[in-house]
A and B are shown apart, each in its own frame.
Chain A
Amino acid sequence: MAVFEPEAEGIVLDAEETGGGIVGRSPWALAGRRLARNRIALAALVLFVLIVAVSFAAPLYAKHLAHTNPFESNISGTVTIDGKTRQVLEQGGGKLGLGETPIGPTWHSHYLLGADNQGRDVAARVLYGGRSSLLIGIGSALMAAFVALIFALVAGFFGGWTDAIISRLMDLIWAFPLYLLAISLATVLLTSPHGLTIGFIQVAADSLWIPLVIIGIVYVPYIYRPIRGQVLSLREKEFVEAAIAQGASNLRLIFTEVLPNVASTVIVLMPLMIATTILTESALSYLSIGVQAPKASWGTIIQDGQELLYTRPWVAIAPGIMIVLTVLALNILGDGLRDALDPRSKVRVKG
């Protein structure tokens, strides 16, 4: 009799059909209906799915449209635009007319947004970068949620010393400035020249796993806190007490009573969490302690574009716009989910 048990049938009856009685609907069905009515949230969902789809189609774009390998420098290459052949790295063009300036946006399939310092196609790189950014963002958010959930369930269910120790540990990580922890971990893990060896696990220095795990770790307390609170209050609820009285085991309680109830909190938190982790990843990568070359992410591309900022601003602007769109879509979606799943947003009619 979990409060948030998803109802398989989810049949929605009108008041008329039931002769004006009170109609029971599962909270999930209600939430789904509310979300479906929230047009802005739906638009955000479509935008996010679109960004994900486009990013994961990066190899297709690079191969079939841009005809380039965005990970290979192309310093002496040429490109033909409207019948004219141009150098990818043009001579001069800076303030003093010295040095080389990569080609600017062509608005054609080749070098749509221009090239970076090494003559690589920026548009294709932004798509590939999106793949890394999204993978790390989603992966680290999932990891943080998973670890936090386990800690919260253990702390909430065993209470006493277990709870005290886990909660103090989380408080400590919480008191540690997030950026310091992330940067410390990233610096250390990335300076070891031959990658990392922990036991039998070998991780290459340019592996996406490193930023993913770092970001996953630092956000654990942010999810742990609200969920532990909820688990504790759930334990006091009548239906959990009833299950305990019936002799249900802890494991059974966790899976049948607590998890379904905690799920809505986690679901509401997820888009917001992914938005945050994507921002964090981009910041770390911008400081060159996130994703490592030759791999690219939106953050690293913005960093590449910094020295070209005044001559070829699109290198830095394009990935930034992608970040803003993605994070904005996730935030709107998170808002919509919260409104849909939060029972307090229902209209209250008092006697």
Chain B
Amino acid sequence: MAEPLLSVKDLKVSFRTEDGLVRAVDGISFTVDEGEVVGIVGESGSGKSVTMMSVMRLITDPNVIYEGEIVYKGRNLMGLSQDAMREVRGEEIAMIFQDPMTSLNPVYTIGWQIEEQLNEHNDLKKGQARRRAIDLLAQVGIPRPEQRIDDHPHQFSGGMRQRVMIALALSCNPDLLIADEPTTALDVTIQAQILELIKNLKRDFGSAVVLITHDLGVVADIADRILVMYAGRIVEEGNKEQIFYDPQHPYTWGLLGSIARLDRPKRRRLTTIAGQPPSLINRPRGCSFRPRCPQAFDRCSVEDPALTAKVGDGHLDACHLSVEDKRARRDATIRPELAESA
């Protein structure tokens, strides 16, 4: 097997605050292969954004503390100088953010902002950057790109702005595209369009994609592999089929239960996960999910479950329940119809 494009090894990210050390990411490891689409799913505060921001080394908070390794194409990004890191950012790894309304500089035209990115990483002649920017805008589906290139961000709708952000991110043909909740701030119909766009562009540009979301439904169609994060750790990891057909961790069940499905004939209640994520300052003993887990038993409050493969190749989960127990309880919790869903 070829070396993965990105490999995160035991990454820990913490912040010093006046209340104590906040462990936002607490020892996670995963890989992203070339051209692969990985979905990272979890509630807000689960550490998914912090993880990927760390990959880009974009956290400017002076109180941040990193531990672990982030190996990209054989180089440990943690050890790179700021200047070497700048070569990686935007050129090799690009990022799209959650809120397209605030992610573009309001005082410059979108053309200026795309050209700035192109000129930073390429030696372009005058006019070349502009032509390339127009091409990119056309590729992401902006109508009349020759005219719109001189518009300012506020003249675009949210969906169009996210397209501009995607054009910006793809401008240097990155090998890895990180999309941090790219559809959360958008209308439902626009969400589908943007996901479709990312899927198509991934095919055209051949980039690997890491898609961060709190909504399993978003990654259902697009992701090859899915990581479920909870309280700064990965609690379950597997390919799309494994996560959707045979979810192992009670937290994943909860996430699955809260997807609204319009394609189901039977009306059913959306289930919710009761309670709040734990404090990242003083982690409860044992399993982090225990206080909210309806399946918790004695062992959960004593021993922290490790992320291990129990059911099959590449399907890992961090839960003390036995596989049989899990399947039985799961089917009782999130109805049998799950088995049919895709």
A and B in contact, CB less than 8 Å: yes
Q: B-contacting residues of A (Cβ < 8 Å)?
A: 15-16, 19-22, 34, 37, 347, 349-351
Residues of B within 8 A of A37 (CB): 18
On whether the beta carbons of A349 and B279 are closer than 8 Å, the reply is no
CA distance A279 to B18 in the complex (A): 36
A351 pairs with B279, CB closer than 8 A:
no
CB of A130, distance to nearest CB on chain B (Å): 37
Q: How far is the CB of A13 from chain B (nearest CB, A)?
A: 11
CA–CA, A210 to B139, complex, Å? 71
Interface pairs A-B: 3 shortest CB-CB: A351-B44, A351-B45, A15-B282
Partner of A349, one of B276, B278, B280, B282: B280
- Selected from A15, A34, A351, the residue in CB contact (under 8 A) with B20 is A15
Asked whether any CB of chain A lies closer than 8 Å to the CB of B22, the reply is: yes
Which residues does chain A contribute within 8 Å of B24, judged by CB atoms? Answer: 349
Residue of A nearest to B280 (CB): A349
Residue of B nearest to A37 (CB): B18
Are A351 and B282 in contact, CB atoms less than 8 angstroms apart?
A: no
> Given A16-B282, A20-B279, A21-B276, A351–B42 Cβ distance below 8 Å?
yes
Q: A20 to B284, Cβ gap below 8 A?
A: yes
Q: What residues on A are CB-neighbors of B48 within 8 Å?
A: 351
Contacts of B18 in A (CB 8 A): 34, 37, 347
Name 23 interchain pairs, CB-CB below 8 A, sorted by A.
A15-B20, A15-B279, A15-B282, A16-B282, A19-B291, A20-B279, A20-B281, A20-B284, A20-B291, A21-B276, A21-B279, A347-B18, A349-B15, A349-B24, A349-B45, A349-B280, A350-B45, A350-B50, A351-B43, A351-B44, A351-B45, A351-B47, A351-B48
Which residues between 1 and 36 of chain B lie within 8 Å of chain A, taking CB atoms?
15, 17-20, 22, 24
Query: Contact: B45 with A20, CB < 8 Å?
Result: no
Q: Counting CB contacts under 8 A, is B61 at the interface?
A: yes
For B280, list chain A residues within 8 Å (CB). 349
Contact A15 B19 (CB under 8 A): yes
The answer to whether B278 and A20 touch across the interface, beta carbons within 8 angstroms, is yes
Rounded to whole angstroms, the CA-CA distance of A351 and B47 in the bound complex is: 5
B46 close to A (CB within 8 Å): yes
Chain B contacts for A16, CB-based, 8 A: 282
Q: Which residue of B22, B47, B279 has the most chain A CB atoms within 10 A of its CB atom?
A: B279
Contact bitstring B76-104, A, C-beta under 8 A = 1, else 0: 00000000000000000000000000000
Interface size range on B against A: 20 to 34
Q: A347 near B49 (CB under 8 angstroms)?
A: no
Chain A: which residue is nearest B278 at the CB level? A20
B283 contacts A by Cβ under 8 Å = yes
Whole-angstrom distance between the alpha carbons of A81 and B214 in the complex?
82
Residues on the B chain within 8 Å of A349, using CB: 15, 17, 22, 24, 45, 50, 280
Do A22 and B50 form a contact, CB below 8 Å, given A347-B17, A349-B15, A349-B45?
A: no
Kindly provide the distance from the CB of A179 to the nearest chain B CB, expressed in whole angstroms: 34
* Shortest Cβ gap from B26 to chain A (Å): 13
Instruction: Tell me the smallest distance from the CB of A336 to a CB of chain B, in Å.
Output: 15
Question: How far in angstroms is the closest Cβ of chain A from B311?
Answer: 28
Partner of A22, one of B22, B44, B214, B276: B276
Q: Which residues of A contact B22 (CB under 8 A)?
A: 347, 349
In the assembled complex, the CB of A227 is this many whole angstroms from the nearest CB of chain B, namely: 27
